[in-house]
Amino acid sequence: MKGDVACLGIIVADLVTKPVESLPEKGKLSLVKNIQLHTGGCATNTGFALAKLGLKVSILGKIGKDALGDFIFRQSQFIGTDTTGLIQDRKSNTSSTIVMVSKDGERSFLHSLGANAEFNLNDINFNLIKKYKILHYAGGFLMPKLDGKPIASLLRKARSSGIVTSLDTAWDAKGSWMKLLEPTLAHLDIFLPSIEEARMITGKKTPESISSFLLKYGMKIVGLKMGKKGCFLQKQGKPGIYLPAFSVKTLDTTGAGDAWVAGFLTGFIKGWDLKKIGRFANAVGALSTTSFGATEGIKSLKKTLKFVGHCEER
């Protein structure tokens, strides 16, 4: 029997600090309430969230053979993901991010690409990917040896093998956007960017115009993450739908978008209709913000559905 999702992409160790309203001047020190070490990166966040929701998941990527890499590897084993495709490289440092969380839960980042910058097609075991129903590329724009034509070729190969292909982007600090992403779009079944990233990619402003632009490439579903405004979803040949966010007490929004993607892919695997998928994805994303770190707030499938049910009864 096939597994559910192969999550391929960026794997990061996050040092989460809160609250940070400004950086200290050179040579000076500021106090913060919390500094915590968590696993991070789109592939890890989404993969761990999927595992906590009860799905069978493999994480594919590259980490260093160092303390941070050992931490990520142990956490992956502990949470129950398949680590066969998780490479530890002695020549690279594990990618890491300093996540500075403000009092209102919003974040700023200092990021080192590390081993993610070295991950390439030669590192990927396609026989492993063929054991899963979905190949999800998590963190487009942050993997220089995969982004563009290399990942497009892998997505094409996966799709031709009957595997559903999915992609989620990160912010493109280099500003390449559509130039780098376009080769992949014709080989996608599902595209799940944030609204801000989607605007930069397409040059369009509204969710409707963005989705219309993207669906012309032949993908089946576009899902736009819109933070506090919820999400916008559209299936090929169908009208788009808006689904509002759930109201929760937010402590940390780190990884909320990745959690939303995990909720979406879970609903897709379950065969739910688009509205139910979106409501569930919004719930997973919202609950992820109620604890520090990217995946601490993720609940089980049963508890998340119960949360949705309670909210709908109000």
Average pLDDT over residues 245-274: 92
- Tell me the C-alpha distance between 164 and 162, whole Å: 7
Q: What is the pLDDT of residues 229-239, one digit of tens each?
A: 999 999 999 99
Helix, strand and coil percent figures for the chain, each rounded to 5 = 40, 25, 40
- Residue 231: what pLDDT? 97
> Mean pLDDT, the chain, as a whole number?
94
Q: What is the pLDDT of residues 76-134, one digit of tens each?
A: 999 999 999 999 999 999 999 898 988 887 778 888 989 999 999 999 999 999 999 99
- Tell me the C-alpha distance between 272 and 306, whole Å: 16
Distance linking the first and last C-alpha atoms of the chain: 40
- Tell me the C-alpha distance between 19 and 100, whole Å: 7
- Residue 103: what pLDDT? 85
Average pLDDT over residues 289-298: 83
Burial (0-12, 13-18, 19+ Cβ within 10 Å), 10 = buried
Between residues 163 and 103, the one the model is more confident about: 163
Element (H, E) at 311: helix 301-313
Average pLDDT over residues 239-246: 96
- Tell me the C-alpha distance between 132 and 163, whole Å: 7
Taking a C-beta distance cutoff of 8 angstroms, is the pair 223, 264 a contact? yes
Sequence ranges of the domains in the chain: 3-20+35-313
- Residue 313: what pLDDT? 64
Q: Does domain 3-20+35-313 have CATH number 3.40.50.720?
A: no
**Length of the chain in residues, anyone?**
314
- Residue 109: what pLDDT? 84
DSSP letter assigned to residue 176: -
Taking a C-beta distance cutoff of 8 angstroms, is the pair 9, 138 a contact? yes
Residue 314 clears pLDDT 70, i.e. is over it: no
Average pLDDT over residues 33-55: 94
- Residue 18: what pLDDT? 86
- Residue 179: what pLDDT? 94
